[in-house]
Structure 1
Amino acid sequence: MQQDGDGERINIAIDGPAGAGKSTVARKVAEQLGYIYIDTGAMYRAVTYSSQQAGIGPQEAGKLADHVTHLDIKLQAGDNGQTVFLNGKNVTEQIRSRDVTLNVSHYAANEAVRQFLGAAQRRLAEDKGVVMDGRDIGSHVLPNAELKVFLTASVEERALRRYKEVAGKQPVTLEQLAEEISQRDQLDEQREISPLVRAEDAILLDSTAMPIEEVAQAIVKLSRTKLAGAK
C-alpha cells in the first residue's frame, strides 16, 4: 500500500490497558496508512517467555538484566498477522500462552527490561511511519509522537473479548478473565517504572461500544488531520 502524504509520515502511539483492542486496531491503522506496525506487547511477552524457559523469575533483577542483553527479538508482518521471532525461533504461539499472559506484567515492571526494549522500540521509530501500541508509548517510549491515542474499554467488555479469543483453547471462565484483567490493570498502573498512564496530549477513545473497524477509522482520520495540519 502506498504511504500517506507522498512520503510525509508521522509516528502514532496507541496506549491502553490489557484487552482494549490496541493490537488489532494498531494493525488495521498501519495497513490503511501503509505504515509499519510494532507490537511492543509481543516484545514483552517474548522476554517473559524466554525468561521463564531459562528459569529466571521477575524478581531476579540481576539475572534478568543480563538475560535480556542476549535476546534478539524480531517482528515480521504476514498475511495472518505478526510473527514473533526470538533468537531466530518462531515463538508467536508460545508467547500467547496463559502462563505468559499471567506473568508478563511482572517481568515488564523490571527496569532493565523496559530500558532494553524501550531503546529497541525507539530505534524502530526513527524513520517515522510507525504505529506502536503498548502501555507507555506516548508517555515514555515515543513522547514526541505526533499522534497519541489512549484506547480503553470497560473491564467487562475487555474480559468478553479475551474470552472469545481463548474459548476452546484455554480452560478459563469469563469471571476469571475479568478478575485477571483487573489485577493486571492494577499492576500496570502502580509499577514504579513507566506505569500505564494517559499522556497529557493523548486523545481518549473508549471502544466499549465501538466496533474495531470504527475505532481504526477514527484513528486514521485523526492521523490524516495531523498530517494536513503539519503542511
Structure 2
Amino acid sequence: MEDELNEQDAPLVVAIDGPSGSGKSSVSRRAASRLGLAYLDTGAMYRAATWWCLDQGLALDDTDAVAAAVAAMPLSMGVDPQAPTVHVGGTDVGEAIRTTEISAQVSAVATNLAVRAELGRLQREAIAEQTRPGSFSGGRGVVAEGRDITTVIAPDADVRLLLTASEEARLARRAIDVHGSADAAAVHATRDQVLRRDADDSTVVQFHTAADGVVTVDSSDLDLEQTVDAVLEVVRRVSGRTA
C-alpha cells in the first residue's frame, strides 16, 4: 500500500456521503485500502436490516415491529476494504442484500427513525472501534460511507466529503453494476433503485448538498481511479497527511 499512513499517525476518520450511484462504495473501499484503513459500509447495514426483517416475516410498514427486530438483529460487519463482509447471525448475507428485492424495499427500513437511531449507534461504535489498538486497522482509523455519515453519524470526522455525480452518470453506473450494460433498457430498469430511493431517503436525511465543512467531489466526468485520486487529494489537503 504505497499510500498507507505512517504507523505514528493519529487515527484518521474519513466520512463519505452522497446519492445513489455516485460511487461511494467502490471509491471508499479503494481509498481505505490505499490508506491502510478499515472500511465501513453503513448502507449495507440498512440492507441487512431489511433482509433480516423480511426473513422474520415482518411487514416493513409495521414500524414498531421492524424497530424491535433491528434492535435484536445479530449483525456483524467485516471491515477489511479488500474483502468486506456482512453476516446476520451465522448467515453471510453479502450477496443477498444486493438483490433487486432488497433494493426495492430498503427505503422502508431506512426511513424508520427508530431504526436509524439504532443503526446510527452501531455505526458510531464501529467507527470508534477502529481508532483503538487491537481493531482491524490497529487503531489507524476508518473510511465510513453512507447516508448522513458526514452530518449525523460522524460530524467530527477528520475528513468529510460529499461524493456526487450527475443523474445521467449515476443511472449509467448503477445499470452497469446491476445489468452489465448502460443501454436504454438497463438504465430504465435501475431508475427506481436510484432516483426513487434517493427521493424516499431524502425525507429523513440530506445527502444532495454539502453541509458546512464538507468537501464536494463531483465524479460525473471521472473514472473510478480518477475519483479515488481526487478523494485522496482531499484527504491530504484537509487532514495534512502525506501519502
Structure 2 length-normalised TM: 0.85
1:33-73, CA deviations, whole angstroms, 9 ceiling, x for partnerless residues?
11110000111100011111212223211111210121122
The amino acid that maps onto 2:39 is Y
Q: Give runs of aligned pairs for residues 29-68 of structure 1, distance below 5 A.
A: 29-68=31-70
The 1:180/1:75 distance shift into structure 2, 3 A limit, reads closer
**CA shift for structure 1 position 79:** 8.2
What percent identity do the matched residue pairs reach? 33
SS in 2 for 1:81: coil
User: Counterpart in 2 of 1:189?
Assistant: 202
The 1:167/1:11 distance shift into structure 2, 3 A limit, reads same
Q: 1:204 and 1:80 mapped to 2: Cα distance?
A: 25
**CA shift for structure 1 position 161:** 1.1
User: Counterpart in 2 of 1:85?
Assistant: 87
**CA shift for structure 1 position 212:** 1.1
**CA shift for structure 1 position 168:** 6.2
SS in 2 for 1:190: coil
Q: 1:78 and 1:222 mapped to 2: Cα distance?
A: 22
SS in 1 for 2:202: helix
**CA shift for structure 1 position 199:** 2.1
Which of 140, 161, 164 is equivalent to 1:152?
164
User: Counterpart in 2 of 1:211?
Assistant: 223
Q: 1:41 and 1:159 mapped to 2: Cα distance?
A: 18
Q: 2:171 and 2:191 mapped to 1: Cα distance?
A: 5
Q: 1:179 and 1:196 mapped to 2: Cα distance?
A: 18
| Structure 2 unpaired stretches of 5+ | 132-140
- State yes or no: 1:133 paired with 2:145: yes
1:8-46, CA deviations, whole angstroms, 9 ceiling, x for partnerless residues?
232111000111100000001100111110000111100
Q: 1:41 and 1:139 mapped to 2: Cα distance?
A: 15
Superposed CA RMSD: 2.1
1:83-132, CA deviations, whole angstroms, 9 ceiling, x for partnerless residues?
21111210111000101001111210111211111111111111531100
The amino acid that maps onto 2:157 is A
The 1:78/1:227 distance shift into structure 2, 3 A limit, reads closer
User: Counterpart in 2 of 1:22?
Assistant: 24
User: Counterpart in 1 of 2:138?
Assistant: none
The amino acid that maps onto 1:185 is D
Q: 2:73 and 2:127 mapped to 1: Cα distance?
A: 20
The 1:97/1:199 distance shift into structure 2, 3 A limit, reads same
The runs of at least 4 consecutive aligned structure 1 residues that moved more than 4 Å come to 77-80
Q: 1:163 and 1:109 mapped to 2: Cα distance?
A: 24
- Residues 38 and 80 in structure 2, CA contact (< 8 A), matched pair in contact too: no
The amino acid that maps onto 1:156 is E
The 1:89/1:21 distance shift into structure 2, 3 A limit, reads same
User: Counterpart in 2 of 1:121?
Assistant: 123
**CA shift for structure 1 position 5:** 6.1
Q: 1:204 and 1:76 mapped to 2: Cα distance?
A: 28
- State yes or no: 1:221 paired with 2:223: no
1:126-152, CA deviations, whole angstroms, 9 ceiling, x for partnerless residues?
153110000100110001111111011
**CA shift for structure 1 position 187:** 1.0
Q: 1:4 and 1:74 mapped to 2: Cα distance?
A: 28
The amino acid that maps onto 1:141 is I
The amino acid that maps onto 1:184 is R
The 1:63/1:162 distance shift into structure 2, 3 A limit, reads same
